[in-house]
Amino acid sequence: MTLHATIDRVTDRIRERSQVSRGRYLAKIARAAQEGPARAHLSCGNQAHAYAAMEDKVDMATTRKPNIGIVTAYNDMLSAHQPYERYPDLIRAAGQAAGATVQVAGGVPAMCDGVTQGRKGMELSLFSRDVIALAAGVALSHDCFDSAMYLGVCDKIVPGLIIAAAIFGHVPAVFVPAGPMPSGLPNDEKSRVRQQFATGEVGREELMKAEMASYHGPGTCTFYGTANTNQMLMEFMGLHLPGSSFVNPNTPLREALTVAAVERAAAITNLGNEYLPAGEVLDERAFVNGIVGLMATGGSTNLVLHLPAMARAAGVLIDIEDFHDLSENVPLMARVYPNGLADVNHFHAAGGLGYMIGQLLEAGLLHPDVKTINGTGLDGYTAEPRLDGARIRWEAGARDSLNDKILRPASDPFARTGGMKQLQGNLGRGVIKISAVAPERHVIEARARVFQDQEAVKTAFRNGEFTEDTIVVVRFQGPRANGMPELHSLTPTLAVLQDRGLKVALVTDGRMSGASGKVPAAIHISPEAASGGPLARLRDGDMLRLDAAHGTLECLEADFEARTPMAFDPEESSEGMGRELFAAFRAVAGPATDGAGVVV
């Protein structure tokens, strides 16, 4: 199938924009690769330190067996990462069988946004992506590894690991998922109980019961938030093995897929004939494919922040106009909560990513000729893994959707576009996701209520202050103000107002969770208010217009441009819960339009 003209045009635009930075990047990783396998350059003393605790130290010192480094985000507080506890032993055994040695190179932090939502710790969340990249860089700096396996799933973890994998782009990289937990309480029922709690209809006991029934075992949360969007992305970008993203933890198929991932990590090193540097996988075509997957699945808006930062680490420059243009031409093929009632297990059973990739390839909406850890070409990602004894056999995947309420063909999608819109106007630049927003709410003109934090919004709600159509503005939530926390805890409040018949919307220089959906939210507004951006000039009662149909975000007051911006007071976000440690990050963080990065 001929490549779609918009896919071609956007890719060329990114390629041209990135010509200098990508050229420098490729030259850098080529120089590193020319030095040959890393361990060959270690002194005897260096090597003795590196191998001292290993049972197979003789092999490591005297043979040309590839040495695989594990970078792990394991902790047993995150349900998604708890299964990784067993992975090092499994990978070591599989590595030995594949003629390789294996070492855990290092660990990286992994925080749970579900725990910190609405709390002070959430102000560390986005910056944890940069800490993860730094920690992974320290792990790989020992220069002992012929390939690396990255164990990570959730929100900032995968993007941080990708940044590190790109910086160490001469080292082959294999990303290894852990899978979603089995289905529990349906997500729409959980959402209903949350809204009932917000209005006082049920107490904390009922709320806790619903939450525990929803989040109930090892694996990712089953809604299609940032964690599961990350897993989709790794498959669309060729860094997972085909069909591996949404296989449940602690199953024979999951274990066999991990073994197969080890075998690929051993096969693609610079010691063999299939050398595949991570930096060659992470080219502009891979990132365009990832954005196409984001739009086709209705994925998390957090990736609009993460993808530019990830790409920048590989010398590829992505702008939010690229997301917008691709979204306008990629059909929405999936309905997974919060965009529908199904969860990721239902999506996977209906045909999943293999079906979607096949459909998008046939429609010319994906680059087919990319490099992947599975070999050249994305067509291998239309296959499904099956157990053949204890090993994996890939066979042809679904050619038809098994449930058209969850998954539809590209020719008959749920919506013609991916539902991610760029917004521009005198309030700045940002994005809005409308795939779950009712069409009659795509344009909202109403007076503003302006708040400096999300708790003030909740207080106003409890006091009964929202009695008319309102655009809620929460400013000073950008990366330089307080680390750009998610404001997902506002979702039940705003949803209640919407269910009461009011037209409401959110405008913020902060983030919303990948689990947020049906309330219109103009997010990531840049320049941020703390840098003197337009949101700092807003006042209560200003008439605002959010028009997702035309991609505009405007203050309609005649004197708006002449106002003096309100100054940001950093005192509230300067200390407590570790925020003191991140003052240097806040001082240098880039704008949201570039990914709000610190290290890239």
- To the nearest whole percent, how much of the chain has pLDDT over 70? 100
End-to-end CA separation in angstroms for the chain = 36
Residue 118's alpha-carbon distances to 347, 348, 458, 511, 539, in angstroms, are 29, 31, 11, 12, 24
Higher per-residue pLDDT: 218 or 215: 218
- Contact in structure between 162 and 342 (CB atoms under 8 Å): no
Whether 490 and 565 map to the same domain: the answer is yes
Q: Does residue 71 lie in a domain region?
A: yes
Q: Does residue 199 lie in a domain region?
A: no
- Contact in structure between 296 and 330 (CB atoms under 8 Å): yes
CA distance linking residue 68 with residue 99, whole number of Å: 11
Residue 513 has which token pair? 């969770």
Look up the CATH number of the domain holding residue 542.
3.50.30.80
Q: What are residue 394's DSSP bridge partners?
A: 385
At residue 87, the pLDDT reads 98
At residue 318, the pLDDT reads 98
Whether 254 and 161 map to the same domain: the answer is yes
Whether 392 and 424 map to the same domain: the answer is no
Q: Does residue 584 lie in a domain region?
A: yes
At residue 515, the pLDDT reads 60
Mean pLDDT of the chain: 94
Whether 485 and 361 map to the same domain: the answer is no
> pLDDT tens digits, residue range 380-412?
999 999 999 889 999 999 999 999 999 999 999
> Mean of the pLDDT values across residues 55-60?
82
Annotated binding-site residues read: 154, 221
Of 48-62, 104-118, 203-217, 301-315, which one has max mean pLDDT?
301-315
Whether 226 and 303 map to the same domain: the answer is yes
- Contact in structure between 239 and 374 (CB atoms under 8 Å): no
- Contact in structure between 137 and 166 (CB atoms under 8 Å): no
> pLDDT tens digits, residue range 77-95?
999 999 999 999 999 999 9
Residue 297's alpha-carbon distances to 182, 343, 406, 421, 479, in angstroms, are 20, 12, 10, 15, 27
At residue 192, the pLDDT reads 85
Cis ω for the linkage preceding 492 (within 30 of 0):
no
Q: Does residue 426 lie in a domain region?
A: yes
> pLDDT tens digits, residue range 222-245?
989 999 999 999 999 999 999 999
> pLDDT tens digits, residue range 468-521?
999 999 999 999 999 999 998 898 899 999 999 999 999 999 998 766 678 999
Residue 444 has which token pair? 């909202």
Domain that holds residue 370: 5-182+217-396
Whether 305 and 175 map to the same domain: the answer is yes
**Looking at this protein, which amino acid is placed at residue 85?**
E
Tokens 């008439």, residue located: 543
> pLDDT tens digits, residue range 441-464?
999 999 999 999 999 999 999 999
Residue 130 in this model has a pLDDT that exceeds 90: yes
Whether 498 and 373 map to the same domain: the answer is no
Provide the pLDDT confidence category of residue 578 given band limits of 50, 70 and 90.
Answer: very high
Residue 238 has which token pair? 């060729």
Whether 367 and 454 map to the same domain: the answer is no
DSSP state of 590: P
Which region among 65-74, 108-117, 137-146, 354-363 has the lowest average model confidence (pLDDT)?
108-117
| Alpha-helical segments (H) within 215-301 | 226-236, 252-267, 278-281, 284-297
Query: Phi, psi at residue 471, to the nearest 5°?
Result: -105, 110
Q: Does residue 151 lie in a domain region?
A: yes
Annotated binding-site residues for [4Fe-4S] cluster read: 154, 221
> Mean of the pLDDT values across residues 114-127?
91
At residue 516, the pLDDT reads 64
Q: Is 443 left (phi over 0), alpha (psi -120 to 50) or beta?
A: beta
- Contact in structure between 422 and 320 (CB atoms under 8 Å): yes
Q: Does residue 412 lie in a domain region?
A: no
Residue ending a domain, among 355, 380, 396, is: 396
At residue 536, the pLDDT reads 98
Q: Does residue 142 lie in a domain region?
A: yes
Q: Is 582 left (phi over 0), alpha (psi -120 to 50) or beta?
A: alpha
CA distance linking residue 363 with residue 414, whole number of Å: 16
Whether 127 and 224 map to the same domain: the answer is yes
User: Which residue in 508, 511, 546 sits closest to 529, CA to CA?
Assistant: 508
Whether 435 and 517 map to the same domain: the answer is yes
- Contact in structure between 252 and 259 (CB atoms under 8 Å): no
Q: Roughly what angle, to the nearest 10 degrees, separates helices 284-297 and 226-236?
A: 130
Q: Does residue 387 lie in a domain region?
A: yes
Supply the pTM of this predicted model: 0.95
Dmax (CA) of the chain: 77
At residue 191, the pLDDT reads 79
Is 8 buried (19+), middle (13-18) or exposed (0-12) by CB count in 10 A?
middle
> Mean of the pLDDT values across residues 249-278?
96
Whether 332 and 448 map to the same domain: the answer is no
At residue 390, the pLDDT reads 87
- To the nearest whole percent, how much of the chain has pLDDT over 90? 82
Whether 248 and 361 map to the same domain: the answer is yes
Domain count, the chain: 2
Q: What are residue 443's DSSP bridge partners?
A: 547
